[in-house]
Structure 1
Amino acid sequence: MDSKNYGISPERMQANQELAKIFKILTTSVDEYNKVYVSTVQAYNYPVTAFQWHPEKNAFEWGPKAIPHTEDAIRVTQQAANFFIRYD
């Protein structure tokens, strides 16, 4: 992930009043240049959650060594999948 081209820093997102009143930041990540970017947001009043990462990679992509396959990483993948298929 190259945040300088595609990501938004937490500070910039929070400074944008329109974004800040719609979305809460759930997670941040660090890109290859050690820049922090917002990686998961959720709307306060709408059924919207957005990921700037690939929750499926930990369980299903075994090529690049940078992708962790620890028990915790696999659990994150499962929790993300469960979140999207839950019944409300």
Structure 2
Amino acid sequence: MATVTTPWGKATSIDEVSVAQRAGEKRFTTKVELLETGAGERLVRFSYATDGAARRGPVTLRERDLAKLGAMLERAPELRRALEMVRM
């Protein structure tokens, strides 16, 4: 498990999924991660990467990319449960 730095301090990556996207000739990956701080607080981080370099926002997903994200979440049960808490 990787350790990352957040505004709330260090956190460990518990679960993650990545969705490959394309806009014209541009290729990038959107990443959704479930993180946990040393105090046990869980955080969800959205980011995107170009050429392997992580960027922070904004993160934009098309409907078809959301469908891919939903399918990927089947393989990341803890992250899926965390996101299910955000039902509108």
Sort the TM-score into its range (normalised by shorter chain): 0.3 to 0.5
* Larger Cα-atom Rg: 1
Structure 1 or 2: more strand by fraction: 2
| TM-score, structure 1 as length reference | 0.33
Larger relative contact order (C-alpha < 8 A, sep ≥ 6)? Answer: 2
| TM-score, structure 2 as length reference | 0.33
